[in-house]
Amino acid sequence: MDSLEKYSNDLQKLVMNQYGELIRACTDEYSASGMRQIRKSVDFLIEQSLPEQVQLGRHIILLALKRAEMMVRELGMDALGISAVLIIDVVEQNDVSYDQIKAKLGERTGQIIKELLKISDLDTT
């Protein structure tokens, strides 16, 4: 989480607190490899986010961490799903490439993101 240094001290504290909540939710749910995947996704989220990137009145990192925690606690989503939940907004908003995702998080996470983006592009009117 070295990339947190680009953010204000207040935001760093909020991110670390929310990250702690996510880890507590995940600890009994996932294997060591699942936990590594989630950690890599959080690192990727932090690296790809911008300090001023706010959505719905909260920083995009905080929203992603809270959403992921809810998905673990309420839906029991698997680690790959949580990995995708963590990064989907930053991928969509910051034009992160499939190759970047694949290189950092693996082909399966990249495929999940690719499919989620296709769904979000559907015209549902």
Structure tokens at 37: 């995947």
Is this prediction's pTM over 0.75? yes
- Average pLDDT over every residue of 52-64: 90
Contact 20, 54 (CB under 8 A): no
Residue type, 123: D
17-26, 87-96, 97-106, 113-122: least confidently modelled range: 113-122
Task: Render pLDDT for 70-102 as a digit per residue (tens, 0 to 9).
Answer: 999 999 999 999 999 999 999 999 989 999 999
Residue 97, helix vs strand vs coil:
coil
Angstrom distance (rounded) from CA 31 to CA 35:
6
Domains of the chain listed by start with CATH number: 2-120 (1.10.3210.10)
